[in-house]
Copies of this chain bind each other. A is one copy, B any other.
Amino acid sequence: MHGRLEKKMSNTPITLKLLAEKLKISVSTVSKALNNYPTINEHTKKHVQDMARELHYIPNKSAINLKERKSRIIGVILPNLLDHFFTRSIYGIEQFATQHGYQIIIRQTKDDLAEEMRSATMLLKSQVDGLIVAISKNTQDFSHFNEFENLGIPIVYYTRNPSFNLNCHKVLGNTFKGCYEATELLIKRGHRKIAYLGGPKMISFTHDRFNGYINALKDNDIAFDVNLVAYTDFDKENTIAAIQKLFADVNQAPTALVAFKELILFDAIKYLRSIDHPQVKEIECIGFGNNSFISYLDLPPIASVEENPESVGENAISLLLKLLDKEIEIKNYQKVMVDCKLVVH
């Protein structure tokens, strides 16, 4: 149940020097033996490695980092940790980073530019080796990231396209295609009056998704109706206002709805139910997200656009590590697209 290794350990950590003393050889030999240098005799290597294992030697990361002039820390800046998309993306980033000997520091901006700037400063002081950033909804100026560039610290932008910043690395969801497929599915199910509920106009994917919607309509010979489009943000009141606009005229009301985000969709449906909209039960909706709570809703969306946040995150960190390893030249700007998947419920 316990014990057997009760060796009574000293509580000072084991160092190379200590191992060297025990084995009566030099520190450099020990270091090289553990790092498997070819010039070291196989016999001594074994001795050293055995001893290291026996004494539970753990290399001191601070010393190594100091020597290598690295921190092995990646900074992650994102708008909101309570949003499932970001939580899941963090999961992907974390996994991959840890597997490659890196740690991450997460900063939430609450979609606020000032907070984003503060985060940048803070992460600079933490001496991150690299940065992964989902910009705030109103980031147009990128000068708060200049200092990273000056220091040669690579930045990968993810999820949110920094369209004002041409020369940069980005990893984005292929949200155009996702929205195209969602719209297409609704058309296939016989809908002709399909509304699009978009997000903050400053966020790039709002437009990509809108274009997916438009293109699906066009490819299926459905005329675009400007009255079937409305925009909101992450604020409930604005969502309700948008829905009111879309469903103002009961006779002309849409029979289906594509929303840029599932959570916003929930607010929309809730509102329509609260005013007892006559066709509410017939309205079919699709949003981006694939939230696990969907299964508890009485009027759930008929499908979800799964954005694969873990994969987006993983692609971002993977690219960043390649930049850090100089596997990709820092000025050789990359753009990675991650596919969405339409999940029918």
Contact = CB atoms under 8 A, between A and B. Distances in A.
Interface in A87-146: 87-88, 90-91, 94, 98, 103, 105-106, 122, 124-127, 141, 143, 146
Contacts of A3: 143
A296 B300 CA distance: 10
A65 to B, nearest CB: 4
Contacts of A146: 2
Contact of A293 (B62, B151, B296): B296
Contacts of A9: 147, 150-151
A56 interface: yes
Contacts of A13: 69, 127, 151
A66 B64 CA distance: 9
A81 interface: yes
18 contacts: A1-B143, A2-B143, A3-B143, A9-B147, A11-B150, A58-B127, A60-B66, A60-B127, A62-B62, A62-B65, A81-B87, A82-B87, A87-B87, A270-B295, A270-B296, A293-B293, A296-B296, A298-B298
A45 to B, nearest CB: 21
A71 interface: yes
Contacts of A103: 73, 103, 105, 126
Contact of A71 (B11, B62, B90, B150): B62
A338 to B, nearest CB: 20
A126 B61 CA distance: 7
Interface of A: 1-3, 9, 11, 13, 56, 58, 60-63, 65-66, 69, 71, 73, 81-82, 87-88, 90-91, 94, 98, 103, 105-106, 122, 124-127, 141, 143, 146-147, 150-152, 266, 269-270, 292-293, 295-298
A56 B270 CA distance: 52
Q: Identify the interface centre among A62, A90, A106: most chain B CB within 10 Å of its CB.
A: A62
B293 A11 contact: no
Contacts of A1: 141, 143
Contacts of A98: 105, 122
B81 A91 contact: yes
